[in-house]
Amino acid sequence: MNSAIYNPTNPHHPSSQFPQIKTCKTLKELQQVHAHFIKTRQIHDPLAAAEVLRSYALSNHRNIEHARALFNQMKTPNCFSWNTIFRALAESSVPEHPLEALLLFSRMVCDGLVAPNKFTFPSVLKACSRLGNAQVGKSIHGMVVKFGLECDEFVVSSLVRMYLMCGVMEDAHLLFSRSVGGCGDSSEKKQEGNVVLWNLIVDGHVRVGEFSAARELFDRMPQRSVVSWNAMISAYAQNGFFREAVDMFRDMQIGDVLPNYVTLISVLPAIARLGALDLGEWVHLFAGKHKIGIDDVLGSALVDMYSKCGSIEKALLVFEQLPKKNVITWNAAISGLAIHGRGKDALHYFLKMGRAGVVPSDVTYIGLLSACSHGGMVEQGRSLFNHMINVAGLEPRIEHYGCMVDLLGRAGLLEEAEELILNMPIPPDDVIWKSLLGACKIQGNIEMDQRVAKILMDMAPRDSGSYVALSNMYASLGNWEAVSNVRMLMKDMDIRKDPGGSWIELDGVLHEFLVEDKSHSRAGEIHSMLEEISNKLRLQGYKPNTTQVLLNIDEEEKQSALHYHSEKIAVAFGLISSASQSPLRVVKNLRICEDCHSSIKLISKIYKRKIIVRDRKRFHHFEHGLCSCNDYW
């Protein structure tokens, strides 16, 4: 073969000699060209055969069976053809194909007619990664050394990736530090190659859940690309470290690497969870300014962010403007309406979704059922639940049963709710029993309350929720002896209450408060404000509701404990720190208590402020002394 014409090491092998192959749009067209090549005996030209193979193996109209058949007919496939078939098999979604790639590779090595080159190893190593076979990977590593390719950055990064994917962190690190440290090559190209390696190793640690190790490496990176930032941001966001994800996104803005589409998709869920509306709006503006197209995926993330940050109007605005909406977009709008207590609108959107020809998923029904639950729409809830099973043909998951129990329980249909739990085809979990427990408390059904609390304690003995509920129930009856027994039990088992926490975003900064928090830099002013609030509340004839305080202490102390619930501290801080017209947006990690709920209603009236509180379940929009939930939550 004339290497001046055909260079098998070039992955972008010019196919200009065979334009008829390149212009094929379908498998059928390609087969016709193939047949023509056979007829004209052109197929015996290794270049022509290699091109047809490449098109069978890797084009949009690829067909691995045809590729394999052609490859097997080749008497002495050239390196380009070997590499083509390796890559096609290594990247194939058929589970058996990566192994086939490895078997073929050993045939290539045994035949010894063609030597593998630097484009061979990445595909073969990929096959090892997909099989998770570090043993074979290691012997291929040996071959890389034998063929003198250990300094090729493309091959080295494939090796590092293979070790990481197979979970052999030690070898990955060894190779990584040798590659980024050694050679003494500090050229720009080498630096860029190093960024790829750094990204790989950071991502490898993320994959196995070693976030602090990943972060340590990230901080040590001499140079970071947008991929590096995205790896860390999405790692944090997807694993519940929302604060860290958002902080990292802010750090990114200080540097000279601009966020891209992937960055925005990764950070928006974290922003949504924290309720950081200002930052979310910034992301939205950024996308517009930098011409990052808002497609259905980014659009869904924006709709979700706006609704979780308390601005359902903006969520719906983004929703309406989206040219393309998928089922996730519709779900974001429907569950957004649900958590804002707009049950009727949620049902309306469901009808619109059907008219738009989008098939609802089981997540759609979670949104709908919780909309019914928040809105007290029992009949609609029941019929949607049946619709889901009988018309949509979807199997209800535990979440759907949870919504139904919640819906029935809140509406006072405790027996029906309990019956539903007992007749579920799947075993009920603690979340389901907890929602029944919550309903018992609202309905004041002490007998069922005790029964359910005991079931819960057996089920999740380490969970504070059932103990607190039981203890609060005894407290509301004034049975302090029973309260102290429950507390003793909790102490014996070393069970602590989930600490309540709230946060509020002001001028793009998140301020976090815990129960009885005195750590804030403006703690003194906040405290005076809390005093002022309680005086004004008292003048309005407000009496604190102290039945939900866990402790058996005298009235005065109980009242002061209530003053310091984190959502109240956040509201006090918001009142002294923001312009008098701007609404306050507070996020609380637990369910808002009755006392905070009724006092924030009054605060909204006294201070003429719109206050929006998102608790663990839903939004409360407080205005003119009323709440959007109509005290039903």
Residues that bind Zn ion in the complex, under the rule CB under 5 A: 565, 593, 596, 620, 627, 629
Q: Which segments within 373-517 are labelled E, that is strand? A: 501-506, 509-514
* Distance of closest approach, residue 214 Cβ to Zn ion, in angstroms: 37
In the bound state with Zn ion, the residue whose beta carbon lies nearer, of 296 and 623, is 623
CA 341, CA 471: separation in Å to the nearest integer? 30
| DSSP, residue by residue, 220-250 | H-SS--HHHHHHHHHHHHHTT-HHHHHHHHH
* Distance of closest approach, residue 571 Cβ to Zn ion, in angstroms: 11
In the bound state with Zn ion, the residue whose beta carbon lies nearer, of 66 and 614, is 614
In the bound state with Zn ion, the residue whose beta carbon lies nearer, of 339 and 453, is 339
* Distance of closest approach, residue 544 Cβ to Zn ion, in angstroms: 10
In the bound state with Zn ion, the residue whose beta carbon lies nearer, of 319 and 503, is 503
**DSSP 8-class letter at 611:** E
* Distance of closest approach, residue 333 Cβ to Zn ion, in angstroms: 22
* Distance of closest approach, residue 373 Cβ to Zn ion, in angstroms: 14
Query: What number of helices (H) and strands (E) belong to the chain?
Result: 32, 6
* Angle formed at CA 419 by CA 414 and CA 421, multiple of 5 degrees: 100
Give the pair of three-digit tokens for residue 62: 């690829």
- Residue 399 CA to its chain's centroid (Å): 18
Give the other-Cβ count within 10 Å of 505's Cβ: 22
Helices (H), 17-96: 19-22, 27-39, 46-58, 64-73, 79-91
CA 228, CA 198: separation in Å to the nearest integer? 8
Q: Render the burial of 92-121: b for 16+ CB within 10 Å, e for the rest.
A: beeeebbebbbebbeebeeeeebebbbbbb
Task: Identify the CA nearest to 603 among candidates 537, 530, 515.
Answer: 537
In the bound state with Zn ion, the residue whose beta carbon lies nearer, of 271 and 613, is 613
Phi and psi dihedrals of 506, rounded to 5? -130, 130
In the bound state with Zn ion, the residue whose beta carbon lies nearer, of 266 and 548, is 548
In the bound state with Zn ion, the residue whose beta carbon lies nearer, of 332 and 629, is 629
Q: Is 317 helix (H, G, I), strand (E, B) or coil?
A: helix
Bridge-based pairing of strands 501-506 and 509-514 is antiparallel
Cα atoms in the 13 Å half-sphere on the side-chain side of 534:
20
* Distance of closest approach, residue 595 Cβ to Zn ion, in angstroms: 5
Sign of CA dihedral 146, 147, 152, 154: negative
Bridge-based pairing of strands 584-588 and 611-614 is parallel
In the bound state with Zn ion, the residue whose beta carbon lies nearer, of 204 and 409, is 409
* Distance of closest approach, residue 403 Cβ to Zn ion, in angstroms: 19
* Distance of closest approach, residue 504 Cβ to Zn ion, in angstroms: 15
* Distance of closest approach, residue 497 Cβ to Zn ion, in angstroms: 13
C-beta of residue 396 within 8 angstroms of C-beta of residue 389:
yes
Compute CA distances 531 → 130, 559, 563, 578, 614, whole Å.
63, 12, 9, 18, 24
In the bound state with Zn ion, the residue whose beta carbon lies nearer, of 224 and 620, is 620
Give the other-Cβ count within 10 Å of 213's Cβ: 17
Task: Identify the CA nearest to 84 among candidates 110, 59, 109, 60.
Answer: 59
In the bound state with Zn ion, the residue whose beta carbon lies nearer, of 611 and 629, is 629
* Distance of closest approach, residue 545 Cβ to Zn ion, in angstroms: 9
* Distance of closest approach, residue 401 Cβ to Zn ion, in angstroms: 25
In the bound state with Zn ion, the residue whose beta carbon lies nearer, of 172 and 627, is 627
* Distance of closest approach, residue 622 Cβ to Zn ion, in angstroms: 7
In the bound state with Zn ion, the residue whose beta carbon lies nearer, of 77 and 500, is 500
